Each structure stands twice: as C-alpha cells, then as structure tokens.
Amino acid sequence: MTLVHSLWAHHALALRFAAQLWPAGAVHTDTDVILNGAFLTHAALVEPTPLVRIGEASAAWPAQTRSPQRFITVLLTRVVRIDTVPHSSRLDVWVDARFDKCRPNFAAARLVGRVSAHRHPRMLLHPVSGDSRGLVRLPHDLTTGDLIAVPCEGATPLFDVRTGTPPVDHARGDAADPGEDDPSAPCRK
C-alpha cells in the first residue's frame, strides 16, 4: 500500500465516522445538509439563527458517543465575528449560539450555504455568550454571516442554545424573569 492509498483510506474513515455523528438519513451536499427532506440553508432564510433540528441517531451512533439518548440535534448557527489571534494564524470565530447546555461534536462541524476550496485549519468556535467553546476545522475564508452546522448529542431544545433568552425555571415551568413587554408573562399584583 502506498502513502497515497493510506491517506485516502484515512480520509474515507474520517468521513464515515463524521457521518455517523449526524442524524440518520442526513444527506451532505457540497453546500448544505438535508435533514428529513429539508435544506438547512433554506431553514436559515425563513427562521432566525440559531436554530435546531432534531433527528434519530444512526444505528452506529451509540458506539461513538457517551449519551444514552437516541437523538442528535443539529445546531445551525451564524458567524457574527472573526478575530485573528495575535502572533498566530489561528482564527477565533464567534457565533450566535450557546454551547454550554448541549453536547456538540465540534469535530463534525461544517460550513453550509457555500463551497470553499480553502484549507481547513483549526479554529476556536466561541458563543457570543457563555463559556463553552471548541476546536473546529472550517475553511480559512470564513466570513461574518456564514452558517455553521454542528451536530450535538441528544435532543437539545432551542432555548438552550439561544443567546439573550432568560433562563427557564424548571420548578415553575416558565421563564425565571420574564420581561414586562412579554404578553405571556404572568400577571403580578
């Protein structure tokens, strides 16, 4: 076996492993991910980001993850800022979603919405609020407004990844501090 064959086999294994981190039946195109017949890029045109899509895990999924749940959430988030780390070529990428209440598989994160032929160096993906972050490999020509899809273990509700939403008080079953302009807020007398 030559070095080229070894590299090709390694690349094929990496792609097969990454595909298992996405919901069953997910179709990857050059520019998009299709889940249950719906394109993620179309969803981002009609709904604000971040947004989530939840699907069943593939049959091979439990062997690679630590979650007992049989679901995978795809988190679609938008790039809001990109910084170059001083004295380095690494980029810090800031997105409009939180990661601290979900279990993202950053290794399988991908750009959606356009094709890029640029190399895929390691970048640090940061939420605009919250402390969690992770290393991803995304195209070096990433720009503000680009969409990034990140598969997450388990079923993650939208309010867990949205920034700027009040935390939910699970004991009461509603937002802990609803705004005065919120028509669904309970009346206070």
Q: Which option is the CATH number for 3-165: 3.40.640.10, 1.10.287.3510, 2.40.37.10, 3.40.50.2020?
A: 2.40.37.10
CA distance 181 to 178: 8
Q: Indicate whether this model's pTM tops 0.85.
A: no
Q: Which residue has the tokens 């939180």?
A: 98
> How many residues can be counted in the chain?
189
Q: What is the pLDDT tens value at each position of the chain, 189 positions in all? A: 565 444 444 444 444 456 678 998 899 999 999 998 999 999 999 999 999 999 998 776 555 555 566 889 999 999 999 998 888 878 899 999 988 888 899 999 999 999 988 888 889 998 877 667 888 999 989 999 999 999 998 898 898 888 764 433 334 444 444 343 444 434 433
Return the H-helix or E-strand segment holding 120. none
Alpha-carbon dihedral sign for residues 102, 53, 155, 162: positive
- Which of 105, 141, 125 is CA-nearest to residue 26? 105
